[in-house]
Structure 1
């Protein structure tokens, strides 16, 4: 027997549950299938538990710096079981709330199990068959584990398994110098572990401008983190005194010995075991589902949201995917992915807030540019907090006066960037923001000054 629905949602990540709410609210009979943990990456292995750990690490960092503020604390000790337990509580509570919300939703049938396509409109979950004219994929992603030499000979951690670690590594080697790897590296260094970051490329977070990359490297090295870039031939081997990570760098020891190794080498979509071959849904070379400007796949009646579509691996972009689909299906609107202005943050301390183009991308566009850059030492709030590392930078189109992109690497940068993000979304010129009167003392108050110092790009 096949159960008939108006819509089927596969995955209870950031996009699936709110879409279920909108569809059932419109009177549809909906099934939502989740094979493991309600809430998806953000709730279980991403934003919520990791930012809880970042908060713990920041508290440890401030405690050690207490003397700088005239606060004499004494010896600082880290209880990793309590640290891990705090993060676990945060994610467990969030997951429970999502599941409770879904199970109490009128018109929604929640099914636990692994969904696979039987055809373009039929899903199998165990012995049960479900069919619907509309199917929405919100299956997320997982840590990428490349087939590197020796990887099968060692025990390694990922961003998922490290969350269960309730002891402090003696020496953690993080393989991968991008966003996830840098956040874990700094937090574990602040907990007291020795830290080495191994990155294949010539610099950290290669998608960012070189000055941003260099500043972040300096921030991490100031905290005692060793960084090995240009590690062209990364390999692994079990050694008597730990795990050997071959780095093959042009300078320094050719091998780093760590007590623990964490892989932070990108993400892979959970599309490999959905049975997409039975649907005709197109994917790219890395397995991401191809979608159009309205998040429809190559097969009519199937949409893909969140990490699995490769159009933004963030909680907020996944939620916006839901908003686009709901607006177009239920509200008679014509919302498009191409209208989205991407903003995001790197949650080291100080954080990096980013929106739009990098300066490098803007220069490559051939437009006439105006650029401005100011150090965080110019920000009164940063000086008062004695957290003056980093800088602000903005790039604008000299002709249209529109802001093309910005970076705020500094205390509060993840919040202050929203003033620029909002201006870009309103399609306002930079002069409108320049004449705003921000509150003193805040990080955002430097933005008008930053814009007032725009100069032609050299």
Structure 2
């Protein structure tokens, strides 16, 4: 049995950074990774997918060149092998960089294998028992495969396996109209595939306000993406020329099927029951405001704790735990302003509450909305789709949330996130003087339109 000061299970965005911080304090730590360093972001999430998004946007901009006076002769062709190879290269550079960083850090031992609890302070990896007074779980999540008739009989793709695809689908059916599915829908449409998005709910991106969801669907439809909502009967079978998809009685011949119906935490084979670690009905590890589980000496960080499903929230989990354990601070998950982006083009940047959530909170709510057509940057680039919206408390003047669906919305939203984090009232922020011409310059005007 080998003894350490800390065991970190999983090498996503929280685990490696925490391992290094603890080692810098003179602790002896071991990082256990089942497969690849870097977690979802590096290997099957942000980095490879946004690389693909960049390739798809390059194709889109090239096709629109004539609108801006740039004439490109010949057909805009997509080399999917080059596209895939570039995404893989970005992943490998990040993964190898992590390996080098950890390998050069005194006090950090990296073990590849599957960790399983034996007691509250012991885990077994590759037949060896490791023990430590502190154990941190950072095991991430994986795609959910729904129980749909015939799905198990066809070769279907997930958000992970589609990254290895080096051919262009003739017709890609995407099951699930949420964030992952929508990004792949637009991406492959721009590569040249016919796309059908199938969503069981009444609208795509259902977490958003209805006006945001409607605008997203309009953006996708304008690019020729077929979106089918309220889908009740979905089944699959093998066809003569690919896959036969049946949707509420209508049949479609598609070449590929991508399942993008959500993710589930990788917590079902860790022996959490042996250690007595509580999980919720969906398998997420239950943690308190400082990310501690119900078992003393065990914490859960990242996607597996259900307190955020993003790279930045996972990294912030590391920051919270490190600050509390190593720097004698009092950091809490509830202090962070929730924010994220949907990387269709134009992107959606989101912060805080939706208008619907704010209205249901019992507050007196103020809302202001402006079209992106009012933004000089958007008009200059001829990309005026979308709008900005901000929600505030009428009594306290507190900014409650915002949505920027438009060009550079994923960057412009940070001005709102920073203001919310600092507790700045909208009545103060509305008199800031932003730089022209930018997307952010409309924010003060947006805030002055509260009513």
Normalising by structure 1, what TM-score?
0.97
Contact 1:113/1:125 (8 A) holds in 2: yes
What SS class does the counterpart of residue 238 from structure 1 fall into?
Answer: strand
Contact 1:200/1:234 (8 A) holds in 2: no
What SS class does the counterpart of residue 84 from structure 2 fall into?
Answer: helix
Partner of 1:133: 133
Measured after TM superposition, the shift of residue 85 of structure 1 is 0.6
Partner of 1:420: 416
What SS class does the counterpart of residue 268 from structure 1 fall into?
Answer: strand
What SS class does the counterpart of residue 237 from structure 2 fall into?
Answer: strand
Q: Which moved more, 1:362-371 or 1:404-413?
A: 362-371
Partner of 1:320: 316
Alignment of 1:286-301 (within 5 A): 286-301=282-297
Partner of 1:34: 33
Partner of 1:375: 371
Mapped partners of 2:391, 2:404: distance in 1 = 12
Partner of 1:91: 91
Mapped partners of 2:28, 2:331: distance in 1 = 24
The count of residues paired between Structure 1 and Structure 2 equals 450
Partner of 1:433: 429
Partner of 1:159: 159
Mapped partners of 2:18, 2:252: distance in 1 = 47
Unaligned runs of 5+ in 1: none
Mapped partners of 1:179, 1:374: distance in 2 = 23
* 1:282 matches 2:278: yes
Mapped partners of 1:149, 1:135: distance in 2 = 41
Measured after TM superposition, the shift of residue 433 of structure 1 is 1.2
Mapped partners of 1:48, 1:7: distance in 2 = 29
* 1:388 matches 2:384: yes
Mapped partners of 2:34, 2:358: distance in 1 = 42
Partner of 1:53: 52
What SS class does the counterpart of residue 157 from structure 1 fall into?
Answer: coil
What SS class does the counterpart of residue 299 from structure 1 fall into?
Answer: coil
Alignment of 1:59-458 (within 5 A): 59-74=58-73, 75-248=75-248, 254-455=250-451
Cα deviation digits, residues 89-109 of structure 1 (max 9, x gap): 100111100111111111011
Mapped partners of 1:246, 1:283: distance in 2 = 37
Q: Which aligned runs of 4 or more in structure 1 are off by greater than 4 angstroms?
A: none
Contact 1:115/1:124 (8 A) holds in 2: yes
Mapped partners of 2:306, 2:151: distance in 1 = 26
Measured after TM superposition, the shift of residue 151 of structure 1 is 1.6
Mapped partners of 1:231, 1:205: distance in 2 = 15
Mapped partners of 2:231, 2:399: distance in 1 = 36
CA RMSD of aligned residues (A): 0.8
What SS class does the counterpart of residue 190 from structure 1 fall into?
Answer: helix
Measured after TM superposition, the shift of residue 419 of structure 1 is 0.4
Measured after TM superposition, the shift of residue 246 of structure 1 is 2.6
Measured after TM superposition, the shift of residue 220 of structure 1 is 0.3
Unaligned runs of 5+ in 2: none
Measured after TM superposition, the shift of residue 247 of structure 1 is 2.2
Normalising by structure 2, what TM-score?
0.99
Q: Which moved more, 1:431-440 or 1:386-395?
A: 431-440
Measured after TM superposition, the shift of residue 235 of structure 1 is 1.9
